[in-house]
Amino acid sequence: MALKLLTLIASLCFMSCFMVINSQKDVYDPITKTMEEFSGYPVHEPHLQDSFTSLSVDTESLQRQIEELSTFSDSPAPSVTRVLYSEKDVSARRYIKNLMAHSGLAVKEDAVGNIFGRWDGYEPELAPVSTGSHIDAIPYSGKYDGVIGVLGAIEAINVLKRSGFKPKRSLEVILFTSEEPTRFGISCLGSRLLAGSQELAELLKTTVDGQNISFPDAARFAGYENAKDLSSVFLPKGSYSAFIELHIEQGPILEEEAIPIGVVTAIAAPASIKVDFEGNGGHAGAVLMPMRNDAGLAAAELALAVEKHVLDSGSIDTVGTVGILELHPGAINSIPSKAHLEIDTRDINEARRNNVIEKIHNSALNICKKRNVKLSEFKIVNQDPPALSDDSIVKATESACQELNLSYRKMISRAYHDSLFMARISPMGMIFIPCYKGYSHKPEEFAAPKDIANGVRVLALTLAKLSLS
């Protein structure tokens, strides 16, 4: 009897052990599961201990890399300033290329310094799956914007390699050149060119920075000798079967709702406009009010009109900002003879956004008539369409979250990213992680190591799924 009881206890113990191990396998080894589902046979002998660690992110190394990368900066810590093709940018690029090579990726660069690190799949003739972001940083910003999508992507590759995963489609990590417009006034320069912007390729031949250094000269300084022939950067549509970018949210929603992952369904369509008004100016005391045509007041009136037209759209998704308003000559006792405004307006609905731009233009014309000033410039600098995430990528990301037991919410990206332009040549998706108070573009920008690790795990598993599809 005692022996029977002992056997029963032993077998119960064995069963519960087995169940625990099994459930660990289910929870911790979704990559193997995904591979097996697609291929229909066990891909490798499941060593349970391996499975347990297979999706673990090396948080210590990743955090060290984030810190190291942030030291390539032209402003003191904790702020980061890393402007396109500066010495610090070149050093940071070298750092990333070394990391890519260290992870066993084949590294190449194009004529403007978009950097590609490829892990060949076992069917390398298929269009690869790509992921990536940027490492340039606007003056006095933080160390996470973009960086998480580059260092995190390399770590996602490491996670997959450690798990024993073998990609079917090749996986590629991309570092995009100049997502920020700091130096040449053009945002997402690298990804716009990748997506085949002939217009930008032409424009860059004659574009200069604030120091009058031309784009090709600046590129040459950074070691990109062929930055004159930019058509070599263009990638044809279909070059990738999927592109997915990991990024901090840059807004407060995920943190407020305590949700670790945002699955982006659309990126709002941005547009920017430059406006110049001209009047006669004059002495602030001598010219009486009926005689004036004040360019500054025309600008002030247009700024209020921007707000009105945006609010009139009736949608919370329509936004507009006058971020620059400069008066000339800028003296207290001189009526402004020139005023310069730069207006940013965005929406997830392109037609509604375009309607706002048209109304702003009409207001500018009417203000000129009313105030007898001249509209010397009304220039739409860019007017990009919005981008919708691809359903298959959204679904892959959602199921990755579910398999990793991470809650998520679908959301819109109101900031734009390289993904907006990659969407022109590839099905696109984005993964957001929370950041402290939604802060970004300032030194207080912060993402918790745990949230970064979760983002990397979701990215890794999503890449695995997309690679096998």
Binding site for Zn ion (CB under 5 A): 145-146
Specify the residue, 146 or 336, whose C-beta has the smaller distance to Zn ion.
146
Specify the residue, 165 or 176, whose C-beta has the smaller distance to Zn ion.
176
End-to-end CA distance of the chain: 56
- 7, 10, 11, 15: CA torsion to nearest 10: 170
Which H or E run contains 264?
A: strand 261-267
Name residue, tokens 């990638």: 235
Specify the residue, 145 or 403, whose C-beta has the smaller distance to Zn ion.
145
Min dist CB 179 to Zn ion, Å, is 5
Q: What SS3 string covers 195-248?
A: CCCHHHHHHHCCCECCCCCEHHHHHHHCCCCCCCCHHHHCCCCCCCCEEEEEEE
Min dist CB 289 to Zn ion, Å, is 47
Tokens of 271: 């547009």
152, 453 in Cβ contact below 8 A?
no
Min dist CB 247 to Zn ion, Å, is 6
Specify the residue, 249 or 276, whose C-beta has the smaller distance to Zn ion.
249
Min dist CB 440 to Zn ion, Å, is 8
Question: Residue number with the shortest CB distance to Zn ion?
Answer: 146
Q: How many CB atoms lie within 10 A of CB 78?
A: 15
Listing from the earlier edge strand, what are the strands of the sheet with 338-347?
Answer: 319-328, 338-347, 269-278, 374-383
Min dist CB 300 to Zn ion, Å, is 32
- 387, 120, 48, 393: CA torsion to nearest 10: 10
Specify the residue, 121 or 132, whose C-beta has the smaller distance to Zn ion.
132
Specify the residue, 340 or 441, whose C-beta has the smaller distance to Zn ion.
441
Let me know if 247 is exposed, middle or buried by CB neighbors in 10 A (0-12, 13-18, 19+).
buried
Min dist CB 391 to Zn ion, Å, is 24
